[in-house]
Amino acid sequence: MIFAQGRTGSTLLENLICSTGHFQSRGELLGGYRNPFVSYPYPYLSGLANASPKENFIFHLKIYHLTRDRIRRGKKPIDPGLFLKKLADDGWKIIYLKRKNTVRHIFSNFIVGHRGRYDKLDDAREDIKIEVDLKLFEASVEQALEHQRAEMEALAGLEYHEVVYEEDLENADGHQKTLDAILDFLSLEHRKAKAALKRINVKSLEKQILNYSDFCDLLERRGWRRYLHQEQN
């Protein structure tokens, strides 16, 4: 199970893992615009996994699949910590994916809105310039940081393998090393892998944000300027 927020590289990570042939891609089984709402997630996942007992099974879980998304549907939220523990007790392995640079993380959502699509499959140059809605950006960063705190709380006491986007996925040259560590964690044989997806956002924020000065003022006011330093380093 890949446990991660959206736009952290979870699709890239699943694509990389599945390219080994150990898994078939299943994506966000409990959420996402392609899938129907699942009222009873645990029996649903167990049923799918048990239907193919000889196959390895992988899917993405976002913490808000269990909380916010259920509340919006008028359903009772599920405690993420208890849910993860139940899966772990049943033998599921947890791969926790996160991004260190939350500003870049949220900006990637704005890029998706600008492009009108999520993934990139070629090396074609894209000249992206965006006027950032600063109020929306501020609220989105706050929400992402809160999700990250909730994720760490849910993972407390559980065994998991951590993948950091900036260290393990951003540079394609490190993909095999990242994958080998994951396969070791899963007790699966090493295999060569290659992701089909390409990185969308390679330019500095300064070159992509039209209201960059106001954007920097926001980061300074909220104590998020360090994320710009992470980008420069």
Superfamily holding 2-232:
P-loop containing nucleotide triphosphate hydrolases (3.40.50.300)
The pTM of the whole model exceeds 0.95: no
42 close to 86: Cβ distance less than 8 angstroms? yes
pLDDT score recorded for residue 17: 97
- Assess contact for 58 and 23: CB atoms under 8 A: yes
Look at residue 202 in the predicted model and tell me its pLDDT: 63
pLDDT at 198: 60
In angstroms, what is the C-alpha Rg of the chain? 18
For the chain, 233 residues long, give each residue's pLDDT as a single digit of tens: 999 999 899 999 999 999 999 999 999 999 877 788 999 999 999 999 999 888 999 999 999 999 999 999 999 999 999 999 999 999 999 999 999 999 999 999 999 877 655 444 445 566 789 999 999 999 999 999 999 999 999 999 999 999 999 999 999 999 999 999 999 999 999 999 888 776 555 678 999 999 999 999 999 999 999 999 777 55
Among 143, 122, 31, smallest CA distance to 78 is for 31
As a whole number of angstroms, the distance between CA 204 and CA 87 comes to 40
Alpha helices in 67-209 (DSSP H): 68-72, 80-89, 102-115, 134-155, 175-185
